[in-house]
């Protein structure tokens, strides 16, 4: 299980720069990043190398920040991997709320899952042997 940072952001010019400036100044590196867009505002979600530090820095800079548990899955960077995992979760009745993926030199392809039932999903993924148990660096 890894920690994801969610930040409320108004849909206005310069807002993303304000968030990333805070991270840059603290020397924090982004590992995964996505924005859920909802018209007047959006939610920035990210996985970073120094989670605690990033969370505190954003909070003291005045952002509405939330820390969540998400699951990360490490798979081979090849066709059919996401299919295999989402099918297994679906068959066990686990609802995926959202998912995003990234690749890096250190890891194989990493897929971030936000699910309805964390414990159940964790069991499914462990059984498949894909649950990422390392540390994001």
Partner 1 sequence: MMFWSPAIERMPMEELRQIQEKKLKALVRNVYEYSPFYKRKFRELGIHPTDIQSLEDLKKLPFTKKQDLRDNYPFGMFAVPLSQIVRFHASSGTTGKPTLVGYTEDDIRVWVESLCRGFVSCGVTNEDIMQIAYGYGLFTGGLGFHYAAEKIGATALPVSAGNTERQINLMKDLGVTVIACTPSYILYMAEYAEKMGINIRETDLRMGIFGAEPWSEETRRRIEDKTGITAYDVYGTSELSGPLFTECIEKNGLHVWADHFLIEVIDPKTGENVGEGEKGELVVTTLSKEAMPLIRWRTGDITIMETEKCNCGRTHPRIMRILGRSDDMLIVRGVNVFPSQIEHVLMQIPEVSEHYMIILDRKEELDEMTVQVELSDKVSIDKPVDVLNLARKIEEKLKIILGISAKVELVNPGTLQRFEGKAKRVIDKRRI
> Does 43 sit near partner 1 (CB under 8 A)?
yes
Q: What distance in Å separates the CA atoms of residue 9 and residue 41, rounded to the nearest whole number?
A: 6
- Give the residue with the Cβ less far from partner 1, 43 or 101: 43
If binding means CB under 8 A, how many residues of this protein chain bind partner 1?
23
> Does 31 sit near partner 1 (CB under 8 A)?
no
Nearest to 128 by CA among 103, 114, 111: 111
Among 36, 80, 93, 95, binds partner 1 (CB under 8 A): 36
Sheet bearing 109-115, strands edge to edge: 30-38, 41-48, 2-10, 65-75, 109-115, 96-103
> Does 15 sit near partner 1 (CB under 8 A)?
yes
The site map against partner 1 for 75-114 (x = CB under 8 A) is ----------------------xx---------------x
Q: Which residues contact 2 (CB under 8 A, 6 or more apart)?
A: 47, 69, 70, 71, 72, 112, 132, 136
Binding site for partner 1 (CB under 8 A): 4, 6, 8-10, 15, 36-38, 40-43, 45, 59, 62-64, 66, 68, 97-98, 114
């Amino acid at each position: 299980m890894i920690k994801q940072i969610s930040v409320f952001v108004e849909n206005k010019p310069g807002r993303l720069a304000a968030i990333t400036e805070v991270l840059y100044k603290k020397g924090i590196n982004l590992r995964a990043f996505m924005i859920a867009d909802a018209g007047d505002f959006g939610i920035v979600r990210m996985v970073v190398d120094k989670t605690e530090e990033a969370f505190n820095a954003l909070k003291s800079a005045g952002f509405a920040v939330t820390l969540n548990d998400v699951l990360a899955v490490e798979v081979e960077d090849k066709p059919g991997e996401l299919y295999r995992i989402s099918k297994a979760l679906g068959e066990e009745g686990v609802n995926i709320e959202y998912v995003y993926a990234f690749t890096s030199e250190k890891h194989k392809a990493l897929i971030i899952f936000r699910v309805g039932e964390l414990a159940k999903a964790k069991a499914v993924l462990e059984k498949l042997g894909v649950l990422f148990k390392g540390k994001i660096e």
